[in-house]
Structure 1
Amino acid sequence: MTSALTSPLSRRMLFATGVLGLAAATSAATTAPASAAEEEWTEEFMTRPETREGFAVDAMDDWQVENAKFIIAVTTGHGLGEEAATVALITAIVESWLYNYEPAVDADSGGLFQQRPSTGWGTYDDVRHKQLAIDAFLGVSTHSLAPGLLQAAPDFAQWEPGTVAQLVQGSAHPERYGQQVPAARTLWERYADDVEPYTA
């Protein structure tokens, strides 16, 4: 552990370089870029939070904010707007609390959306690569065989976001997605105007 973990990130455990053979974050103080065109988005990883007491949009740390902004940036980069971003955000909130998980915490799942290589979402590295994971979730990737948003619900804007998320994810707890719609709407309103579409 480093002294950097005395920040708000101290509630989360970072994987150090070499521990379990997993890649470490280069900095616990990474902040979300305001413009995706000017800065590189990171691929840092964090372990699962110690509790599941509830997601608080106003208590997000820098990593969660960065990932929320990146989901918005990639979604708008594909020409999709608030409704698609809302579905992606509620899914990442429920599945990972907006953390990019390196270790497999549920079977072979990993990454922002807890996608599983064994069910066609790509390789171990694909599901943990944030852009590839978002692309796969949206249904605009070439590496994933699983149906994403655009395949599962082409008319997704006409559906409740939680229902659409469940069509993509097939969760054992489908009710959880709809519960996070207010948080996702808040994130969109808070950050969408400050983040340029990501098209790399």
Structure 2
Amino acid sequence: MAPAAPARLRSPFSRRHLLTTGVLGLAAAAALGTVAPASAAVLDSGDLDTGESAQWTEEFLTRPETREGFVADAMDDWQLANAKFIIAVVKGHELGEEVAVIALITAIVEAWLYNYEPAVDADSGGLFQQRPSMGWGSYDEVRNKKLALDAFLGLGEHSQAPGLLQVAPDVASWEPGAAAQSVQASAHPERYAEQVGAAREIWDRFAADVEPFTA
């Protein structure tokens, strides 16, 4: 999954796909307007406190891909937990706001801050829609939040794909959307930067109260 020569500090980029299978919780879906019902499972592995796995299955509603912004005030419990988890792990690696923003915009774009159990795009899964066939780890590893985030950051020993700190070691000098694209090699690179405002709002709200997670 080696990306083409990445660009720095250019005009905003954004996401690969904002959930072609747009899976939302029932309450959020009803509020946003939805179409055909579908069923999906969301896997939440790597709990902040215990590291234990838990799985929930719920009926979801599917909507077409949209370009609307992610609204921090509309996050459900799963999205909130995943946002805080990303911040906690980034802090645990002694990385700062810019890296957290890059990870958050990627998880928003790729999975709307849900940790997907079913394959959404080919064999992709998890918060970052990583593909086992592209070297990101096994089926279970790309769906484990800690392992998936470490792989995205370039700190996961289980992953053979280049992560953020490998493709952008000078990440502080990169525009966040371009940095995300350097890892994800998206067909829609312009979409990541659309979520930078939401990611910074999430960081500003929660970072001070989230303890580093190092397990």
Question: Which category describes the TM-score, using the shorter chain as reference length?
Answer: 0.7 to 0.9
Query: More strand by proportion, 1 or 2?
Result: 2
Query: More helix by proportion, 1 or 2?
Result: 1
Distance 1:137 1:62 in 2: 23
2:110 aligns with one of 95, 103, 117: 95
* Conservation of the 8 A alpha-carbon contact between 1:46 and 1:99: no
Q: Does 1:126 align with 2:141?
A: yes
Distance 1:86 1:8 in 2: 26
Distance 2:102 2:185 in 1: 14
Q: Which residue of 1 aligns with 2:16?
A: none
Residue 44 (structure 1) shift:
3.8
Equivalent runs, 1:42-121 vs 2, <5 Å: 43-44=54-55, 50-51=62-63, 52-53=65-66, 54=68, 55-121=70-136
Identity among equivalent positions (%) equals 61
Looking at both structures, which has the greater relative contact order when contacts are Cα pairs under 8 Å and sequence separation is at least 6? Answer: 2
Runs (5+) with no aligned partner, structure 1: 1-5, 16-21, 26-32
Please report the TM-score for the alignment, with normalisation by the length of structure 1.
Answer: 0.80
Distance 1:9 1:40 in 2: 27
Please report the TM-score for the alignment, with normalisation by the length of structure 2.
Answer: 0.75
Runs (5+) with no aligned partner, structure 2: 1-24, 31-36
Q: Which residue of 2 aligns with 1:173?
A: 188
Q: Does 1:145 align with 2:165?
A: no
* Conservation of the 8 A alpha-carbon contact between 1:89 and 1:184: yes
Q: 1:61 to 1:183 in 2, by over 3 A?
A: same
Distance 1:152 1:46 in 2: 36
* Alignment size in residue pairs: 179
* Conservation of the 8 A alpha-carbon contact between 1:14 and 1:24: no
1:144-190 CA-to-partner distances (Å, cap 9, x unmatched) read: 00000100100011010000000000000001101100000000001
Distance 1:183 1:23 in 2: 22
